[in-house]
Structures are given as C-alpha cells and as structure tokens.
Structure 1
C-alpha cells in the first residue's frame, strides 16, 4: 500500500480521519506505524497529501491529514478486453488501475469460456476491491469505470463505433496486422482478446467498427503480460 485511500466517511473533523479494518491492519502489521509517523494519503476521486499518525490502538488509527496535490494524470485510453479467466482477471484489474486506465469494457468472445461469467470477481463490490488495490499500489485516487457486456456482436456493432470515434482505434492481434504504432499521448481505444486471441470473424467485426489490427512482434503474450506491454508501447513514459 503506497497510498492510504480515504473516504469521506473517514473524516471526523476537517483534517482528521479515523481508520479501521483492512487499512488499520496494514498500518499495524506492514508499516508497523508509530505515532508521529507520516504516510501518503489520498481521498478517493480527490486530492493526495500527507497524513500524520496521531493515535493508534487495536481498534482504530487516527491521522491528521493535509491534502494539496492532484492525483497522477489519467491515461487517455478506453480499454476493451475479452473477459479473462478468473485468476487472471484479478491480476488484470489491479494492473489496469495501477497503470492509470480509467475506462474498461469487459466483453465476450468465442474463446471466453461461459463459466468465466459466473465468477464472483465480476460482482461490483469485488471489482471495486481490486480496483482499490491497484490505486493504492500506484498512488492514485481516481477510480476506474468498468462496464460489462456479455454479447459480442451487439456491443461491437451498436456501441463500439461510437466509443472508437475520433480516437486512435486499435485491436491487438498477432496475425496479419501492422506493427504497434509509435507512442502518442492521444485518446485511444484498444481491444485485447482472450487467451488464443480473437477469432477471424471477431477481428473482422472489430475492423468494421473502425479498429486497426496491430501486433507486438513474433512473440505471443498472455493477456496479463500484453496489457502492460501494449500500454508502455502506445503511450509516452511519464516524466
């Protein structure tokens, strides 16, 4: 936890918060916090700053906070991703939040096993939990938006053309595709397929929606690896 995320309900005064539960345990067991110690804090969807630990016991921790910094810049990306298998989904959600993606669309695909859609990880509270872990890791406060679409064709035909309009629209595909373009800080729509990739019919539909097929070279990557590699190739490194 590189950032302690705060909620408006934590405030017991204009500049004072009280924490319990998971965040308290993290202060006690990982940080081994001591009264007077400083921690990086931020309000969910708000400012970042510093918190000074002023009270700690087995039931709660209290911090005096000063919030005076904007969160890191958002990545200008709309990410469309075929639903990964549950174990990979958890890692992908946290990675996406860590890297600054603020809009994620989870969609169906021929190679997405039907059982994946029954995973508890898709419940809003579980998605929220893993998004928060990603934000804490990266020191961000802006919560990503996640949309779920269980039918491929209606999404690609009815929604994706509008979403991709006036953006750099791409689909990652290892075959018959152009090389990954140079990094640009420009609004981008990126589609990533499941393990094994989108089938030919799906790539055709995605191209009809305005997306250009691109590849990363001869190596075939797992989804959880492809996501950070693609984002690091498509956008300039932050300074």
Structure 2
C-alpha cells in the first residue's frame, strides 16, 4: 500500500480521520508508525497529501490530514478488453488501474466462456475492491469506470464508434498486423482480445469501426501481461 486511500465517511472533522479497518491493520503491521510520523494519504477522487499520526492503539489510528496536490494524470486511454478468466480479471483490473486507465469496457467475445459472466468477481463490490488496490499501489486517487457489455456486435456497432471517435483506435492482434506504433500522448482506444485472441469476424468488425490491428512482437503473451506491455509501448510517460 503506497497510498492510504481515504473516504468521505472516514472524516470526524474537516482535517481529521479515524481508520479501524483493513487500512488500519496494514498501517499498524507493515508501516508501524509512531506518534508524529507522517503517512502518504489521498482522498478518493480527490487530492493527495500527508496524514500526521495523532493517536494509535490496538483498534484504530487517528490522522491529521492535509491534502495539497493533484493525483497523477490519467492515461488518455479507453481500454476495451474481452472478459478474462476471473483470476486473471483481478490481476488485470489492478494493473490497468495502477497504470492510469480510467475507462474500461469488459466485453463479450466468441472465445469468452459463458460461465465467466456469472462469476462473483463481476459484482460491483468485487470490482471496486480491485480498483482500490490498484490505486493504492500506484499512489492514485481517481477511480476508474468499468462498464460491462455482454453482447459483442451491438456494442461494436452501436456504442464503439462514439467511444473511439477522434482517438487512435487500435486492436492488439498478433496476426496480419502492423508493428506497435511509436508512443504518443494522444487519446487512444485499445481493444484487447481474450486468450486465443479475437476471431476473424470480430477483428473485421473492429476494422470496419476504424480500428487498426497492431502487434508487439512474435511472442504471444497472456492478457494480464500483454496489457501492461501495450500501455508501456503506446504512451511516452512510461
């Protein structure tokens, strides 16, 4: 936990918070602060600053909070990702959040197992938990928006053109694709397929919408590895 995320209901005064949940136990067991120590804190969807330890015992910690700067700038990216396996979904949500993705669409694809859509990890609370972990890792406070789309064709035909408008629209596809373009700090819409990739029909539909297939080399990576590599290749801030 590189940032202690604070929520509005943590505040007992305008500049004081009391924590007694998972965050408190992490602070006490890992950071082990003493009275007067300063911890990095940030208000969810707000500013980042410092929390001065005013009191701590076996049950809770009280911090005097001063928020004074903006969180890291988000990536100018909308990530369109075929729904991965539940275990991979957790890791991918965390890593994408940590790298600055703020708009994420989880979509259906021919190679997405139908059972994935009934996973308890798609519940709002479970997704929210993984996003918070990604923010804590990166020292960020801006919560991403995650959208679920269970039908591929209606999404691509009816929603995606507006989503990708005025952006660099790319499909991560290892076959008959151009080399990954040079990094640019420009609005980008990136589509990433499931394990095994998008089928030809899906690639063609995305191309019809204005997407260009790209590859990142001969090696075929798992989705959880491919997403960070792609983001690192596409944006100069990495």
TM range (shorter): over 0.9
Q: 1:14: Cα distance to partner?
A: 1.5
Matched residues in 1 for 2:109 and 2:226: separation?
17
Matched residues in 1 for 2:237 and 2:13: separation?
39
Displacement over 6 Å in runs of 4+: none
Matched with 2:32 is 32
Matched residues in 1 for 2:102 and 2:74: separation?
7
The answer for unaligned runs of 5 or more in structure 1 is: none
Matched with 1:154 is 154
Matched with 2:169 is 169
Q: 1:112: Cα distance to partner?
A: 0.5
Matched with 1:70 is 70
Matched residues in 2 for 1:129 and 1:107: separation?
20
Per-residue CA distance 1:64-98 (angstroms, 9 max, x = gap): 11110100000000000000000100000000110
Q: 1:30: Cα distance to partner?
A: 1.3
Matched with 1:21 is 21
Q: 1:20: Cα distance to partner?
A: 1.1
Q: 1:33: Cα distance to partner?
A: 2.2
Q: What SS does the corresponding residue of 1:182 show, helix, strand or coil?
A: coil
Matched residues in 1 for 2:121 and 2:60: separation?
29
Per-residue CA distance 1:15-55 (angstroms, 9 max, x = gap): 11111110111111111222211110000000000111111
Matched residues in 2 for 1:140 and 1:207: separation?
34
Following superposition of structure 1 onto structure 2, how do residues 1-239 of structure 1 map, counting pairs within 5 Å? 1-237=1-237
Q: What SS does the corresponding residue of 1:30 show, helix, strand or coil?
A: helix
Matched residues in 1 for 2:221 and 2:87: separation?
16
The answer for unaligned runs of 5 or more in structure 2 is: none
Matched residues in 1 for 2:122 and 2:204: separation?
28
Matched residues in 2 for 1:165 and 1:142: separation?
23
Matched residues in 1 for 2:29 and 2:116: separation?
34
- Which deviates more, 32-41 or 143-152? 32-41
Q: What SS does the corresponding residue of 2:31 show, helix, strand or coil?
A: coil
Aligned residues: 238
Q: What SS does the corresponding residue of 1:189 show, helix, strand or coil?
A: strand
Per-residue CA distance 1:168-210 (angstroms, 9 max, x = gap): 0000000001110000000000000000000000000011111
